[in-house]
Chain A
């Protein structure tokens, strides 16, 4: 055998394709990526059959699709995988397994016919036969097999029933000639058009595959598509369409469905469900009152998971990092290399790992909701609101996730099938006030709003300011989505055409596999960028070091050690350490940068010290607090509750003696943080999910401009009116 044969596992979404793949692949599944797009490519080398006839094949999980027309990135991949490349030489033997849901066979058969048109050895797997039998459907699979000319295997993938029969069927067809093309009554108009477009595919040697490509092109070519079609194919499609008096789209689809209906009429007995299974459940879950309540509860749970359940896990990660840092510090000689390792590399690994709990929890829950069928209902229930800002109903969960952390939320946009829907959502949601902004707000509020009165007698001014920031971020997110949709991501009116699958109990094995796949791609693709950026940022905050400063503080230390003892000495030494760190930071690249940008940020009420804080916060927004800790000489181990840091901030003055942190300056600073894209991890993950640097750059630019203008407006208008100065 020269090449390992490829076996593609294709099927409609919700037909159990992934379950089948996981059952056959077991632990051998590998997750990679299709080049250029963010669609998982799952493959596994497995041995099919037993004894002498056993063969090793490469199993490929093709993204779920209803048809071989490219209307989403997933479907485009499916088309590529099944139709193959246009190059004459086929890489290796190839067979296709189509997984169909036996309880709604019609759509599965539609895809099956399309696959058969392409002319590869094919096996049809009728999944969920147990449910079909319960519903009183009798499927004559032998008759169906004869009519289609391919093996038809009855199975229950989640219970491993029919797996052996399927393996045997695959082995049996692997070296066979392709099954006969389905005898479809295309009609003269379609035949003429296909012939014409097929001429543009003259280099495809197999006439059958040539026609398959032509039919695909006729159904996929459309004004403003982003397909890489050859110009002659595009021209032929347009010409064929203008010349034809008939409606080619309807005729193409209707010819297949006529055959589908005929197959169902002949080989399926029983009427099937007149109403959807789970319809009584849906009556509650989509009820105006009960449904909204259930929706709120489920979303609250998702939110809780991201916000609270993840907290102890994140705590462990952070403790583990601190432990390794302390260990390295203790066991290695002090010096630059140790600093690089501890403050750069280990901290960077920590910056990556710290996202894992939220990503894992979000994708486990999202997978659960998707597999049980509720995610489609989420979209159904909330679509009306999302539509108003040009978003898809399914964008709700990623947006909600944005309140916790933009990184898992951006990754969750993959549940959206349309590329533009996906981009609008991921570019707008970093404006949601994530949990990393909270320490910044808390520090500022506690610093500037201490002795203010209450609003309406029970809310403190600080609480009102905090609420206002959340309201502002929500409004900004929705506004940004609406504007992005009308400008850079303008396109055909967004739509919602979504199957509402029957409710089914998810398989934990599938959830674990998909969660792990997500975490893994995050660690590899976004993680490396985050690690690199952490090291760069560390270098900016560390170099250049001024030997004169070190000398001066070493002298002070020697003096203290000589003259003081006990607790007094320790205290004095800590103070010297803080002052030295502050002085070194001031002379570092970041410190110089902070001073250099002061003229630009002074109109926002920020001096160079806050500027350094903003630069440091690029690692993650909460780092603003510890960076300020260093700048103000109280050490980097402070948090937003630190009274010392608050005191220092309150005492801070501009050179002319004005207070730095006035209430107005505090509000301007918070407004800046609401809008600014102060998060390298978000940038890394948007780069990963959008597939290019273009989109994260656009995001950083628009968010930074917005942040600057908004903070400027707040500070300048406020100053002019004399508010909170």
Chain B
């Protein structure tokens, strides 16, 4: 199982589950971080935390603590091109 916090900058993935503290979880869901959403890690902050991710055409920063609760399935690096920026969600599960 991989979580968002494990990904390196430049890696892309699809969100599987969001398992954070309920309050944060709702916030992340409403910001568009849903199961099925495509997400890319852009960079880490100078001191390693938080990270910047890109999804649905905008940039979001979240701490490792939050990113550790987001389970993802990484995509191979070769599919970098030709991805729609607003991902359509897969049926959950």
Q: Residue on A with the closest CB to B56?
A: A106
Q: Are A261 and B30 in contact (CB under 8 A)?
A: no
The CA-CA distance from A247 to B17 in the complex, in Å, is 11
CB of A250 within 8 A of CB of B35, answer yes
| A499 and B60 contact, CB distance less than 8 A | yes
Knowing A257-B89, A492-B21, the reply to whether A275 touches B49 (Cβ < 8 A) is no
Q: Which B23-66 residues sit within 8 Å CB-CB of chain A?
A: 23-32, 34-35, 42-43, 45-50, 52, 54, 56-63, 65-66
Which residues of A sit under 8 angstroms from B25, Cβ to Cβ? 249
Q: Is the CB–CB distance between A376 and B61 below 8 Å?
A: yes
Answer whether A274 and B50 are a contact pair too, CB < 8 Å, given A286-B43, A493-B21: no
Residues of A within 8 A of B45 (CB): 286, 380-381, 383-384
Residue of A105, A110, A381, A493 touching B65 (CB-CB under 8 A): A493
Judge whether A495 is part of the interface by a CB distance below 8 angstroms.
Answer: yes
Please state if A264 and B86 are interface contacts (CB–CB under 8 Å): yes
Cβ-defined contact, B29 with A253, below 8 A: yes
From the candidates B24, B49, B52, B87, name the one contacting A387 in the complex (CB within 8 A): B49
Check if A66 is an interface residue, CB within 8 A of chain B. yes
Query: Known: A274-B83, A286-B45. Contact between A383 and B29, CB under 8 A?
Result: no
CB contact between A104 and one of B49, B52, B57, B84 (< 8 Å): that residue: B57
- How many residues of chain A get a CB closer than 8 Å to chain B's CBs? 57
Q: B1 interface residue, CB < 8 Å from A? A: no
Residue from the list B30, B48, B50, B57 in contact with A496, Cβ < 8 A = B50
Per a CB cutoff under 8 Å, which of B31, B34, B43 touches A250?
A: B34
CA distance A501 to B52 in the complex (A): 11
Nearest chain A residue, comparing its CB with the CB of B48: A384
- In the complex where A104-B57, A384-B47 touch, is A497 in contact with B23 (Cβ < 8 A)? no
A271–B48 touching, CB < 8 Å: no
A142 to chain B, nearest CB (A): 20
Q: Do A499 and B59 touch across chains, with their CB atoms under 8 A apart?
A: yes
Q: Does B78 interact with chain A (Cβ within 8 Å)? A: no
- Give the nearest-CB partner of B83 in chain A: A274
Q: CB distance B57 to A495 under 8 Å? A: no
Interchain CB contact under 8 A, A500 and B43:
no
- The contact of A500 among B57, B61, B87, B89, by CB within 8 Å, is B61
CB-based contact B58/A257 at 8 Å:
no
B58–A499 CB distance below 8 A: yes
* Chain A positions 212 through 246: 1 when the CB is less than 8 Å from some CB of chain B, otherwise 0: 00000001001100000000000000000000000
**What are the residues of chain A within 8 A of B85 when measuring CB–CB?**
271-274
Q: How far is the CB of B8 from chain A (nearest CB, A)?
A: 16
Give 26 CB contacts A-B under 8 Å: A66-B31, A104-B58, A106-B56, A107-B58, A219-B26, A219-B30, A223-B22, A247-B92, A257-B89, A265-B86, A268-B86, A273-B85, A276-B42, A279-B42, A282-B52, A283-B43, A291-B46, A376-B61, A380-B50, A381-B47, A383-B49, A495-B62, A496-B61, A497-B24, A500-B52, A501-B59
